[in-house]
Amino acid sequence: MNNFANQFAAANKSAVENLLSLTNTVFASAERLAALNLNTARNALASSAATTKSLFEIKDPQALVGLSSELAQPGMEKAIAYSRSVYEIFTQTNDEVSKIVEAQVSELNGALGSALDKLAKSGPAGSDVTVSAVKSAMAAANSAYGNFSKAAKQVVEMTETNVANSVAAVSTATTKVSGKPAANAANIKSKKAA
């Protein structure tokens, strides 16, 4: 009985440590997102001030047309860069949370399997049928979790591809509108892999 209490205490300690790790990951992500938003707001304010100053210096309509085409591309590039940064923060957070959850599930499966093996050895006659049923249910749950995990990873990969294609399309459109080459629309997949 004392051994069970020790195992239960160890499992609870592990669960609390994982919860703290998850909490730290989420707070770090929120902190990064807040910093990104503050920097973006600061840069937008500075850009707006510069644009306003440029507008006051315009003397003829032709200069106004030139200024508007000059401002279109950097604005789109900043929006693309901001979107990419937000996406990267969320993707990295998702990866970290997934690793923590997978480790917790693996640890839980190991502990439960060990407890079931001990129960089968020391349990009353006929308990092996119950243990086998529980192990079968665990195997089915693990299989379902594995399938769900694979599906989630496929969704993330498809989303990455769609975001990369959208960035490329917006960059191409910006180039056509402004007549200037757009900034490098790096493929998000290759950036994530780096």
Q: How many CB atoms lie within 10 A of CB 21?
A: 16
Instruction: Check whether 30 has a pLDDT greater than 50.
Output: yes
pLDDT tens, residue by residue, 68-92:
777 777 777 888 889 889 988 988 9
Residue 177: pLDDT band by 50, 70, 90 thresholds? low
Whole-angstrom Cα distance, residue 161 to residue 157?
6
Instruction: Check whether 187 has a pLDDT greater than 60.
Output: no
Residue 43: pLDDT band by 50, 70, 90 thresholds? very high
pLDDT, position 60: 83
Residue 4: pLDDT band by 50, 70, 90 thresholds? low
* Residues 167/84, Cβ–Cβ less than 8 Å: yes
Name the E strands within 30-94. Answer: none
pLDDT tens, residue by residue, 110-149:
777 777 777 777 777 777 777 777 778 878 877 887 777 7
Instruction: Check whether 193 has a pLDDT greater than 80.
Output: no
* Residues 89/40, Cβ–Cβ less than 8 Å: no
CB burial of residue 59 (10 Å; 0-12, 13-18, 19+) = exposed
Angle between helices 2-56 and 61-122 (to 10 degrees): 180
Measured CA to CA in angstroms, residue 112 lies from 9, 66, 118 at distances of: 14, 69, 10
pLDDT, position 184: 45
pLDDT, position 98: 84
In the structure encoding, which two tokens stand for residue 14, read together?
A: 């592990």
In the structure encoding, which two tokens stand for residue 10, read together?
A: 């160890």
Instruction: Check whether 52 has a pLDDT greater than 80.
Output: yes
pTM of the model: 0.64
